[in-house]
Amino acid sequence: MNEAHFHLLVNHFPITGTILGLLVFAIGLVIKNDNVIKTSLLLIAFTSLLAIPALLSGEGAEEIIEDLSTVSHDLIHEHEEKGELFVWFSVALAILSLVSFWAIHMQKGFRKSLLWLTFGFGLATAFLAAQVGNSGGLIRHPEIENSNIQAKESEEKH
């Protein structure tokens, strides 16, 4: 397995894990169940930290595909920049999630405010995750961009 293959395997976990974790988090907040919230916080923390190996393997993946004629260097650069920002957000989200877990476990008075801060920061991180995933997909899946162009053309006709 080369670094491009590893990158493709690991890069989906921080994206889908953050989104899935936030969904479980939201359910926990709505039903006011600390066990569901704590489970979601651990899921978010774990999957957020997987952004680190995704970023580290990205450089090796770039080296493997950058000379292919079907690959745009501009798209690779855009994906790399978004990936680096996403990692910073992901690590911060992991830390916030673990602190929130601790605050719930220890029944700290500020836990509710911290949970909402974590949830809001998680939404921002999920937005970045979607941006990173989409920019990575554009590198080898031009049909994604073509569908965006077709949607814009369809809107202009109506």
- pTM for the structure as a whole: 0.83
Tens-of-pLDDT digits for all 158 residues of the chain? 888 888 888 889 999 999 999 999 999 999 999 999 999 999 999 999 999 999 988 888 877 777 777 777 888 888 889 999 999 999 999 999 999 999 999 999 999 999 999 999 999 999 999 999 888 888 777 666 665 555 555 566 66
N-to-C CA span, the chain: 48
Helix axis angle for 34-49 and 51-65, nearest 10°, is 30
Return the domain boundaries, the chain.
3-157
Given the structure tokens 């600390």, which residue do they identify? 34
Query: Do 89 and 52 touch, CB atoms closer than 8 A?
Result: no
Residue 67 buriedness (CB in 10 A; 0-12 / 13-18 / 19+)? exposed
CA angle 33, 39, 41 (to 5 degrees): 100
DSSP type of residue 33: -
Out of 1.20.120, 3.90.940, 3.30.70, 1.10.860, the CATH code matching 3-157 is 1.20.120
